[in-house]
């Protein structure tokens, strides 16, 4: 923890903090100067992370809730923000889904759920406290998207659509809110070892640990980087695929195993 970070982030909220990248971020920001607001559905997992953050000296409030329950999410975020004006909100909670093993379509219920949690959960989280941040003229919003936002991968259509929308929404907010002193950052991780990446049945090149991901994110958030994409080789590869003509991009996605599961 750098001393530079302490005055900037005293009150930090992280959605999806019970495991994976969100839990690693919670630990990254845990220190005696911070009050953390940690959101997730699994109370047991959330309490374990909260205890580890408290052991590092942080004060922790947990929000055991489903972010697709908008009234409950809004109430919790506003109540936290009232007590502890939010310096940094990281909208990290997310789920994924894939087409079937033989190329079957994703059930529409699964598509709706992915969009509901990944996209609308992000937008509702931000809206809950945006007015307060704007009144204060201070705050930072970090939206967790994915390198999958750069190019729709045939095996995960709904997930890629949700993450592309999150990226686009964040980019719009950054331009809109910068003159008011609100910072907005879009985080696009490649593969990070977690329950989510375990469920992804395709090659996972350059996979990193959640701790490393959290360190990279924290280092770049303090610098207010617009786009926090990593790791470098996969970032470059996805950017390249995004600008290639469609058939060539498809060829590269195919040989990488991202066109069909089998
Ligand atoms: N892992 C990767 O390779 C990778 C790559 C690119 C982007 N990302 C993005 O990074 C973020 C974190 O992913 P991860 O790999 O850490 O996934 P993960 O290990 O599966 O963790 C997901 C987190 O989101 C929470 N969550 C899911 N649905 C929720 C809901 N309805 N309400 C509240 N919380 C919910 C989970 O908590 P509960 O189960 O307790 O609710 C959990 O804390 C996601 O947005 C993901 O899309 C991950």
- pLDDT mean over 125-137: 98
Does pLDDT of 169 surpass 60?
yes
Banded model confidence at residue 7, pLDDT cuts 50, 70, 90:
low
Banded model confidence at residue 40, pLDDT cuts 50, 70, 90:
very high
Q: Are strands 59-64 and 35-40 parallel, antiparallel or unpaired?
A: parallel
Q: How far is the CA of 162 from the centre of ligand 1 (A)?
A: 13
pLDDT recorded at residue 5: 46
pTM of the full structure: 0.96
Task: Return the ligand 1 atom nearest residue 17 CA.
Answer: 43
Q: What is the C-alpha separation between 25 and 234, in angstroms, rounded?
A: 22
pLDDT recorded at residue 70: 98
Does pLDDT of 2 surpass 60?
no
Q: Which residue's CA is the nearest one to ligand 1's atom 45?
A: 94
Task: Return the ligand 1 atom nearest residue 189 CA.
Answer: 6
Q: How far is the CA of 17 from the centre of ligand 1 (A)?
A: 8
Does pLDDT of 4 surpass 60?
no
Of the chain, the percentage scoring pLDDT greater than 90 comes to 88
Residue to mutate (ligand 1; options 94, 123, 143, 200; most atoms within 8 A of CB): 94
If you average pLDDT over every residue of the chain, what do you get? Answer: 94
Q: What is the pLDDT of residues 200-251, one digit of tens each?
A: 888 899 999 999 999 999 999 999 999 999 999 999 989 989 999 999 988 8
Does pLDDT of 253 surpass 90?
no
For 54-67, give one letter per residue: b (16+ CB within 10 A) or e: eebebbbbbbbbeb
Cis before 76 (ω within 30): no
Q: Is 228 in the pocket of ligand 1 (CB under 6 A)?
A: no
Task: Return the ligand 1 atom nearest residue 210 CA.
Answer: 16
Q: What is the pLDDT of residues 62-118, one digit of tens each?
A: 999 999 999 999 999 999 999 999 999 999 999 999 999 899 999 999 999 999 999
- pLDDT mean over 110-135: 98
């Amino acid at each position: 923890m750098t001393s530079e970070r302490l005055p900037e982030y005293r009150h930090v909220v992280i959605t999806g903090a019970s495991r994976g990248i969100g839990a690693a971020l919670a630990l990254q920001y845990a220190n005696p100067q911070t009050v953390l607001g940690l959101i997730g559905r699994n109370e047991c997992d959330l309490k374990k992370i909260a205890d580890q953050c408290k052991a590092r000296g942080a004060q922790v409030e947990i929000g055991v809730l489903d972010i697709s329950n908008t009234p409950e999410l809004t109430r919790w975020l506003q109540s936290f923000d009232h007590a502890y004006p939010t310096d940094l909100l990281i909208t990290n909670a997310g789920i994924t889904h894939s087409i079937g093993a033989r190329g079957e379509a994703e059930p529409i219920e699964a598509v709706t759920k992915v969009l509901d949690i990944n996209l609308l959960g992000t937008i509702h989280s931000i809206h809950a406290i945006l007015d307060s941040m704007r009144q204060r003229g201070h705050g930072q919003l970090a939206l967790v998207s994915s390198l999958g936002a750069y190019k729709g991968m045939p095996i995960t259509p709904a997930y890629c659509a949700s993450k592309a929308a999150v990226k686009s929404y964040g980019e719009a907010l950054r331009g809109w809110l910068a003159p008011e002193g609100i910072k907005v950052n879009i985080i696009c991780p490649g593969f990070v070892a977690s329950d989510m990446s375990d469920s992804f049945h395709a090659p996972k090149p350059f996979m990193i640990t959640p701790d490393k991901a959290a360190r990279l994110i924290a280092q770049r958030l303090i610098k207010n980087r617009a786009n926090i994409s990593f790791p470098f080789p996969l970032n470059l590869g996805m950017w390249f695929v995004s600008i290639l003509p469609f058939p060539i991009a498809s060829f590269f996605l195919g040989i990488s195993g991202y066109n069909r599961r089998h």
